[in-house]
Amino acid sequence: MKELLEKYCNILGPSGMEDEIRDAILEDIKGSGCDWSVDAMGNLLVFKKGRKKRNKKVLFSAHMDEVGFMVKHIDENGMIWFGSLGGIDRRVVSGRRVKFCKSGLRGIIASKAIHMQTPEERGKCEPLEEMNIDIGANTREEALKYIKVGDCATFEPDFQPFGEGLVRSKALDDRLGCAVMAEMVNSDLEFDTYFAFNTCEEIGCDGAAEVVYSLRPDIVIALEATTAGDVPGVSKNLCACSVGGGAVISFIDGGTIYDKGLVSLATSVADANGIKWQFKNVVAGGNEARNYQTGASGARVLAISAPSRYIHTAGDVLHFDDIESVRRLAFLINERSFDND
């Protein structure tokens, strides 16, 4: 799992540019005997036959895309002005290294140095539209040899285990879900199961909106990362979950009220198998579960997440024990027929 996660996290795949990560997943699962297809949105849809059939169509879902940046203007000095793809806090951007998807070129996100700021500007975080990416070009013409308007970049890959059982990297949201699902596809399953590796979750869950109409699942389990609040300055009543606290089971978030029967099932399975878990304790965030719940004829939805510090930054942080809890819980839930759940 660690090697697979590192492989997926180091791939560049912002919203709308998921081709490389999709190809990597396909390469890993194509020998499993599964059936697969790619739809018009770029979603990778997989069916894996199990030992038994289900009366209900069960789908596991994870998104392939990550947050990133898109070029919107190149000025006469060769500086690149950009917008964000997905929810990126401007406080974590300045000074970061980025890598462009098509060219592989590296750049630095630049802003006015403190020595050049006015007293009024000091201590304030510039908006993204006032920052730019420096690729070392001196003129617009020089920059255009490598970069065009519309090109995309992500934080530079830098996957590293650190501390006691932790890992930091860009794109852990949601390459961890992709890695768990790839392992599930490559396993011998008890029941027939569908999998959706989605596109464009970070900009509105557009990929899942397509999947719900094409597959029309009855039950959807979204595998995700979610924001951990165990950092200085956050009171316990605002701490959604904690790194090292186990798999996160949501009963509500900013977009979805999750199926109470499925939530109860997940907690019962976890308790019965000694899997560490925690509730998500604040109403915030969201994922593609909302699209499955409200699209087409609707579906019963459940979210199982790994708690992540510094999500949507160059250094998301997860604990491998939490990843294992998510993995085990996903496998065990998929052993249910769901006929009576």
Over residues 121-177, the pLDDT tens digits come to 777 778 888 899 999 999 999 999 999 999 999 999 999 998 899 999 999 999 999
Confidence band, pLDDT 50/70/90 cuts, at residue 341: confident
Annotated active-site residue 18? The verdict is no
Among 201, 202, 210, 224, the one annotated catalytic: 201
Q: Where are the domains of the chain?
A: 2-66+170-333, 68-155
Distance from C-alpha of 322 to C-alpha of 303, rounded to nearest angstrom? 14
Confidence band, pLDDT 50/70/90 cuts, at residue 117: confident
Instruction: Examine the pLDDT at 179 and tell me if it is beyond 90.
Output: yes
Indicate the fold that domain 2-66+170-333 takes in CATH.
Answer: Aminopeptidase (3.40.630)
Do residues 78 and 138 touch, judged by C-beta distance below 8 A? yes
pLDDT at 233: 72
pLDDT at 70: 96
pLDDT at 133: 96
Mean pLDDT of 10-34: 96
46 vs 232, which has greater pLDDT? 46
252 vs 58, which has greater pLDDT? 58
For domain 68-155, which CATH number applies: 3.40.50.261, 2.60.40.1120, 1.10.1240.10, 2.40.30.40? 2.40.30.40
Confidence band, pLDDT 50/70/90 cuts, at residue 36: very high
What does the pLDDT look like over 302-324, one tens digit per residue?
Answer: 999 999 999 999 999 999 999 99
Helix axis angle, 320-333 to 172-185, nearest 10°: 40
What does the pLDDT look like over 252-292, one tens digit per residue?
Answer: 888 899 999 999 999 999 999 999 999 988 777 788 989 99
Q: Do domains 2-66+170-333 and 68-155 have the same CATH topology?
A: no
pLDDT at 61: 97
Mean pLDDT of 45-71: 96
Written as six digits, the tokens of 188 are 């011998």
CB-based contacts of 50-54 (< 8 A; 24+ apart in sequence): 50/188, 50/189, 50/190, 50/191, 50/192, 50/193, 51/188, 51/189, 51/190, 51/191, 52/190, 52/191, 52/192, 52/337, 53/191, 53/192, 54/191, 54/192, 54/337, 54/338, 54/339
pLDDT at 172: 95
Instruction: Examine the pLDDT at 228 and tell me if it is beyond 80.
Output: yes
Q: What is the pTM of this model?
A: 0.92
285 vs 61, which has greater pLDDT? 61
